[in-house]
């Protein structure tokens, strides 16, 4: 039993049928049926009474629905909390580049940076040369590239 299967089960409960749930979940009806069948085998009880008028939850299905709702809700809170912590720990490096320079940089360079520093998000903005200098001086960017000459007394280079 896993979270994905519990989500499948709850979607069937919400939609009232396997065919509607499979469309909501973007999976085949056969795949969904197989997943629920495996769940029923795993726990050793039927979850649905399959009739010509639809699928009715058994008492086991009702019990699982109540418990699964809580489990999936708590799991979502858990994953959202972890994602918030991950985002909080990310750092941003704002880079200013003159127009056209970004095209000259290799994407491999940026990808390698992301591998080495996965917690740093690069925000790259394009400017004219003089606007790039102003952005560095104003603190709008942390790092700037220059093509033309620049005032070496104002910048570390």
Q: What is the DSSP string of 75-120?
A: HHHHHHHHHHHHHHH-EEEEEEEETTHHHHS-HHHHHHHHHH-TTE
For domain 90-144, give its CATH number from 3.30.70.420, 3.40.190.10, 3.20.20.70, 2.30.30.170. Answer: 3.40.190.10
- Fold that domain 3-86 belongs to in CATH: Arc Repressor Mutant, subunit A (1.10.10)
Residue 88: per-residue pLDDT: 81
CA torsion through residues 30, 33, 38, 41, sign: negative
Q: Which residue stretches of the chain have pLDDT < 70?
A: 148, 150-151, 157
- CB under 8 Å to 67, separation ≥6 — which residues? none
Q: Which of 8, 19, 10, 4 is nearest to 50 (CA)?
A: 19
pTM over cut 0.75: no
Residue 76: per-residue pLDDT: 96
Q: What is the residue whose two structure tokens read 């080495």?
A: 116
Q: Could you give the residue range(s) of every CATH 3.40.190.10 domain in the chain?
A: 90-144
Q: Could you give the residue range(s) of every CATH 1.10.10.10 domain in the chain?
A: 3-86
């Amino acid at each position: 039993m896993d979270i994905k299967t519990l989500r499948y089960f709850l979607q069937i409960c919400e939609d009232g049928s396997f065919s509607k749930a499979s469309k909501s979940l973007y999976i085949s009806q056969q795949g969904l049926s197989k997943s629920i069948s495996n769940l029923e085998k795993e726990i050793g009880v039927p979850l649905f009474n399959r009739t010509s008028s639809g699928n009715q939850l058994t008492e086991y299905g009702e019990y699982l629905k109540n418990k699964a709702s809580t489990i999936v809700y708590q799991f979502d809170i858990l994953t959202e909390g972890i994602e918030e912590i991950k985002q909080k720990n990310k750092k941003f490096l704002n880079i200013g580049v003159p127009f056209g320079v970004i095209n000259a940089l290799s994407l491999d360079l940026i990808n390698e940076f992301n591998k080495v520093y996965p917690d740093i998000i690069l925000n790259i903005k394009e400017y004219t040369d003089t606007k790039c200098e102003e952005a560095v001086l104003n603190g709008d960017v942390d790092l700037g590239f220059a093509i033309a000459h620049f005032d070496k007394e104002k910048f570390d280079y």
